[in-house]
Amino acid sequence: MASLQAPARRPRAAGRPRAARWRRHAWSYAFLVPAALLFCGFSIWPMLASWWYSFFEWDGVGAPTDWIGLDNFRDVLGAGGFWDAFWHSFLFSLAALFIELPLALILAILLNNAWLRGRNVYRLALFLPVVTTTAVVGIVFAILFDPIRGVVNTALTDIGLVDSPINFLGSTTTALPTLIGIDIWKGFGITLIYWLAALQTIPKDIHEAALIDGANPRQSLRFVVLPMLVPLAIVILLLVFQRSLNTFDLVQATTQGGPNYATDVVPTYIYRFAFDPFLQAPRYGFACAAGVVFGVMTLLITLLQAPVLRRQYKAGATT
């Protein structure tokens, strides 16, 4: 019954105190120092600082001195504009999870087929929007969707699909779906690459074994590929969720949160209170509080997914 016993701990090396181990790995730690310093300076410190600033009525200049406790958080939680922006951010994420993710997986499976001719060209074409500057994307789509001379409206009216031009980016009902569509188009390539990378982790032998066992392509996909993708799919899901929740540049370049805040997302909401040139008195403390609340909410939503994802992960890992 040796197999049921816990593996024996590696005995502590006699005569090798901790200091000796530190000396032995000193260079490793030394090489880690620059990265650790940069990480602390550019990730940890700003995060901690934003927590600290959020307790002050502060315009961003000089040292914050006007301590107001939790007032900024109360203001944020009571601001209808913040929750509207949060909902819009959340819609970006939902669309990414339920539209972009499965679509990208389907295309990745197609493009992973070694027999498909020109698959690298297709991959490149789908990846191009990812490397295109978002500001340029925003301007181009604003021109394409323009209700007066835009190509899209001209085509739609010419073929008789609509009677009058659609005000894609100027209407409170169509602006957000339009931006979500552009965001999916823009981010699709990177999600596709994630999926392709995940697909390529599945050993060929397993495909061949399934084939020998008589599985057809659909069965191979259903019972071999998808279960084996689950652990990586969870990582991809979280990455896509985080990316889409933080959409900023596209909205700023296209609508600046308008019309009438119909496309306002949390990052543009924060930006407006901290940096908007039309705001005569910047509210950095409030903006920091909004950022903290948004961060906490994101964390909570991610944690809410955790039990389900963990179950799926285990199921996938043991398949």
Closest CA to 246 of 168, 171, 301, 303: 301
CB 143 within 8 A of CB 150: yes
Give the per-residue contact string, 25-54, with other proteins (x = CB under 8 A; - = no).
--x--x------------------------
- Stretch in the footprint of other proteins (CB under 8 A) among 84-92, 124-132, 202-210, 251-259: 251-259
Count of chain residues binding other proteins (CB under 8 A): 32
Strand partners, 56: 67
What letters, b where the CB count within 10 A reaches 16 and e where it falls short, cover 31-56?
eeeeeeeeeeeeeeeeeeebeebbbb
Helices (H) and strands (E) in the chain, counts: 16, 0
Out of 129, 181, 227, 259, the only residue in the binding site for other proteins (CB under 8 A) is: 259
- Stretch in the footprint of other proteins (CB under 8 A) among 2-10, 41-49, 139-147, 232-240: 139-147
Other CB atoms closer than 10 Å to residue 30's CB: what's the count? 9
Is residue 169 a contact residue for other proteins (CB under 8 A)? yes
- Stretch in the footprint of other proteins (CB under 8 A) among 95-103, 162-170, 204-212, 293-301: 162-170
- Residue 62 is encoded by which pair of tokens? 């000089």
Out of 112, 171, 305, 312, the only residue in the binding site for other proteins (CB under 8 A) is: 171
Q: How far apart are CA 19 and CA 289, in angstroms?
A: 43
Give the per-residue contact string, 47-86, with other proteins (x = CB under 8 A; - = no).
-------------xxx------------------------
Contacts with other proteins, residue ranges (CB under 8 A) = 27, 30, 60-62, 142, 146-148, 164-165, 167, 169-172, 175, 254-256, 258-261, 275, 277-283
